[in-house]
Amino acid sequence: MFLEKKEEKMLEGEYGSGVELAMNALVKMGDAVGAERFIPIQSSHIGNAGLFNNFEGYVDIVERLVEKGAKTKVPTSENPYPYDSRTPIELAECKESSMLKETEPLTTYYRELEVIPTWTCTPYFNGNIPRYGHHISWEESSAVAYVNAVLGAKTNRESVLMDLLTAISGRTLYHGLHIDENRKGELLFSIDKKKLNSSDYPAIGYYIGKIIETEIPVIKGIPRDVSKGNLKNFGAAAASTGALAHYHIPKVTPEANSTNDAFGNEKPSEKIEIEEREIKETKEEMSYLREGEDIEMIALGCPHYSFEEVKKIAKLIEGRKIKENVKFWIFTHDGARSLAESLGYSEIIESAGGRLLAGCPHHILETPPYDEMPFMTDSGKMCYYTKSAYGGQKDCLKSGIEGKVARVKKW
């Protein structure tokens, strides 16, 4: 790799042994992927909840970085932990959980590294908001899809540790989606449905993700006024069933003023029609539980709900009551939860029998006793990783009220 003089000094330890350790690893990674050079980054986002396959090894490396005096060089947010950031769910149970005990030293090390404790998978809704054209280094597949496509920032799907090393060095490898030529669309999907509702977007993402490999889809048929939440949920589902990192929607996303623009004036390698039948069949595929089957939980907010989504749920559930034996959990970030509390929306949700939580729903629901509970969700991502029922927000609320999987005809 070509190194600038400053980067050579970083590699030689002149900027501290922590930076030296990070640069040594990054140079080896650069050689492995054939990157020609580094580029400076503007921000980073690091993962937490997916660490547990090799958690002890990761913590050991982070501890070494702290001992060597490393600090993050750019604003660096972090993913949620597998428990609520304020009060662990069912505190007595969580204190016995290995996940809570094992993450305690990591949170301390991150503070030493000056990582910002955002504890959310949607940092672009909570302070870490990249600008168009910024080179960044982010983990969390749903966030990567959002910032590349919706905000026009540039990042690859970084891995655990790679994200932290780039944050400490302030550099990432110039390859993949950092190169403009690699950001062009490849497959064209055309949606043939007159009116899309919110529950369609995760299903469309789920369907597209199964078809693409690492290819970049261009999607026609999405209305120009599509909400941020629907784009978030579409990308999260597609990044779960496939390796989605970037996509284009003509006249919606910033790198696609037109379909030709999205493809760089080249022809798509394949054209695929998505009709109402495919959307309906995908929703059926996403649901492990069928209509009429009992549920014990409603889990909303994977990825984390924005404040607007929390507000919408509060207005829908106001004056209604979730069945007594059904848990009703809404996952969001602390910023949205604080706003909801100050404006009374949290009280409405609690009066209906629900809770606003800030943690990783995926990993919380893998923790006993919750891993055995039949539940319903509006998340395509959650449906891919768990055995649950899928439905729109109103479907989920109606199911919570009745205690069984139900579909809304009129709310």
Asked whether 245 and 145 are in contact (CB, 8 A), the reply is yes
- Together in a domain, 193 and 164: no
Residues 151 and 215 in one domain: no
Q: Has residue 237 been placed in a domain?
A: yes
Looking at the structure, do residues 174 and 192 belong to the same domain, yes or no? no
Domain-embedded: residue 306: yes
Residue 199, Cα to own-chain centre: how many angstroms? 17
Positive or negative: CA dihedral 224, 226, 227, 231: negative
Q: Report yes or no: 302 and 330 within 8 Å, Cβ to Cβ.
A: no
Same domain, 159 and 219: no
Could you tell me if residue 409 is inside a domain?
A: no
In the DSSP assignment, the letter for residue 404 is B
Residue 273's CB is within 10 A of a number of other CB atoms, namely 11
Question: What is the model's pLDDT at position 91?
Answer: 46
* pLDDT given for residue 92 in this prediction: 44
Could you tell me the residue range of the domain that residue 77 belongs to? 5-180
Closest CA to 76 of 172, 154, 170, 158: 170
* Shared domain check, 354 and 273: no
Q: How many domains does the chain have?
A: 3
> CA–CA distance from 171 to each of 22, 41, 43 (Å)?
10, 6, 10
Question: Is residue 217 included in any domain, yes or no?
Answer: yes
Both structure tokens of 75: 């604003």
Do 9 and 152 share a domain, yes or no?
yes
What is the pLDDT at residue 26? 98
DSSP conformation letters of 8-42: HHHHTTTT-HHHHHHHHHHHHHHHHHT--BEEE-S
Residues 23 and 163 in one domain: yes
* CATH code, domain with 199: 3.40.1060.10
Ranges of residues in the chain with a pLDDT under 70 are 49-54, 85, 88-101
| Domain annotation covers residue 191 | yes
Q: Are 223 and 86 within one domain?
A: no
Between CA 259 and CA 250 the distance in angstroms is 5
Q: What is the DSSP string of 363-390?
A: HHTTSTTGGG--EEES-HHHHHHS--EE
Among 180, 206, 230, residue at a domain's last position:
180
Tell me what pLDDT residue 93 has: 54
> At residue 358, what are phi and psi to the nearest 5 degrees?
-120, 95
Residues in Cβ contact with 134 at an 8 Å cutoff, skipping those fewer than 6 apart: 41, 42, 43, 153, 154
Find out whether 135 and 39 touch, Cβ atoms under 8 Å: yes
